[in-house]
Structure 1
Amino acid sequence: MTAELFYCGECFDVSDGILGVQVSRGQSTVTWQRFGWIDESDGITEDALITNAPPITFDAAAYDRALDAAQAALASFFRRSR
């Protein structure tokens, strides 16, 4: 699965480029690898890879807790903004 990490901070326009990463899940780990710039139609292509970016591995349970906490915090924020 490819995940989108960063968009243009000023306009969030996808045509300005999106930094993405390939995410893979093992039994007890989550690994981010193949960092690169995402093309809107092709995903991360070989010529768009950041070749010196090492893989990053997370403990799967801690990763899930962090995502759950982020989801709860953002859901609360968006409910207040409306």
Structure 2
Amino acid sequence: MMVFSAFGGILFGYDTGTISGILRMDDWLRTFGDPVSGTPGHDLRFELPTALESVVVSLLFAGTVVGEYHASKCVSPSSY
């Protein structure tokens, strides 16, 4: 039982750590970011607004909380 709990903690930490890399991926920024004009002669670059970045990170945590609640109901049906 403790091994499963430890593995869940590792996955949660890995999940949280990878979101920063995903938010900086070029394809992600082109899809969800706003175009920002760079210096003349350089390519157009994209940036993610800080409000949208905050929402993405917050939804990751909110999904964890909701998933934990529903998982506890599946494991212990008498907890309703």
TM-score normalised by L of structure 1: 0.35
Higher RCO structure, 1 or 2 (CA under 8 Å, sep 6+): 1
Larger strand share, 1 or 2: 1
Which protein has the larger Cα radius of gyration, Structure 1 or Structure 2? 2
Q: Which has the higher helix share?
A: 2
